[in-house]
Structure 1
């Protein structure tokens, strides 16, 4: 009996020792594994092999608030094409761009790829919903200052070479679909729609987009560029296209401010703020082709800024001006008729360069329509606007609207002419 008791005690001691060793091995092994995992990701760059060489900035991924689903912009090495391995292209645009090349694409392939930048936008698979994590808590974002920082005054005007759509899309990867952008470090006070009446000015449009996007971003604006193109080969109606642009823009967002902008005018000074003050603003005060002098005191053409509230009060632009000229002066008359005033920056700031183009044929009836315009302020404008949107596309650089304008018949214009 004594021998059995001693043997059982010995077995208990051995079992206790084995269990203690197992526990120590587990604890020590866990510590070693943790150190190995930490050392694996402590370096900024990790190089690996997976269907090709690539480097991933793990420090960016681990610090990203959008992890695990993030939208990344990639740089493709010059020798990547030699791999000749197809990849998968993803784009945020709902429609195809004019240029057949991929734009703002996330490229996931076996090419030599370097992660360059992580977007602040989280994209959900099989869903159009986009959640901006930087805007998730609006109460923590301060309003942008009235005068944006880092404005330097004179801007360089680049007229050549003419960029391609592909060049601009690669340059402005920070844009949202539709030519939209907003600051992420502060909240813009107002939402601005830049409305460009357009037809057959492809080179001018490329230069305009190249010049305007960096300027508008520097001014910390929440903005979208709308290019409103008149369909067909009929007589051009600039004012009517601007009415269409303002009407359609409000279907995309609640814009507080409209900037109506000729495509051939480029601002020369970044202190010329693209916002709407308390009164309508004539922005293109001094144009190089006119020796930087206003043509006459009441001028309100080229580039103008009108708040959404005032644009509704004015009933928009007149739809009666088919052909060049008259619509700007009619708007100037509407502003004074409604007891508003035209504000302007000093000519030293509100300077513009006009791109060369063939002059349009003037409308021979513009003076007659202008002189009798006051009779139609309440009936000719937004409330009698007739058009059909043939196509809408949200490209990366701008939102494109193709509009078919309903021009009155010859007999209707003849009766209106003599009635007035």
Structure 2
């Protein structure tokens, strides 16, 4: 007859990770049986001592050479070695942990700028970098004076301050590195010093334009659509970066697309309202001392009692009164004229001439009563630039006039401030 103890079954012993159990005596799992735990030696051991046996490979090796030109490691001789994606290395220090050196890799490059290391081992955990722009032609966004990133424990570059994102270097506009000196006289004008009007564009047709962004040229609609037939984009070749026409051996670019203002309608050459157009370039321009955009008009800009700079490669006049196309970029300072004076001038002309274009609120006129300083054929599409708040901005686009350099006749310019919204809309949508 069996006792109550004989019926006791303890079940299987709890398993041991990285080890096992062996029965020493008695009926397995029954009352009175004895078992013993063991570890998977030589890689694990029981306390006292470490749970994991570390640093004791079962394959011996000796290191007598450098890794470059070193020996091949026998299999199992460096069992703690770990390879991490991206050609990094590490080592096992516990059953769930790998020790490695944190390398964030090279910081992302910055277009028209760069990055400098401020502290720490380059690209390693704790190192700090700072982004900068190629001044004076590019600048960081407002508020982003010092944009720094540090290499963090997750192997990623993260912003040190509140700026957060890698900055964008924005072009500096309207600040030529060479000043225009004096108030000189395009017909009767002075040669522009190299780099003094770095936004000036000349087209293969002889007309002008101006850079307003790294992929956009602003010009007059009538120079791109003679007889209201838009010129194909691949026929529009543009030149910039020099003030001498003889330096223009090959065009800088050919237009990618042309965008006339939808309100331009000049079938009879008598309606220059909305005489404005944009040309998109096939790739961004890199700005420098000789190539820089002009700013767009500031909000609330005024033309009253202002004197602007008009520039171009158009017709100029010799001392004996003959005209020729200039091989040098010319510029002249011209005052904005009271609209009533402009209207009166046109009314006088209409008494003896027909086919005089009409004015509109989208235009302004400029010039001197003696007419000795004036843009002419070939200057169309070029800039009328005003200086304020430490930069030049595009107040006007040379549009039309009656004759060249004649007394009591003034040149008319597209008023760019009326089109800033259209300019931004067109650039954003294209």
Larger strand proportion, structure 1 or 2?
Answer: 2
More relative contact order, 1 or 2 (CA 8 Å, 6+ apart): 1
TM-score for the superposition, normalised by structure 2: 0.27
Compute the TM-score of the two structures, normalised by the length of structure 1.
0.28
Between Structure 1 and Structure 2, whose CA radius of gyration is higher? 2
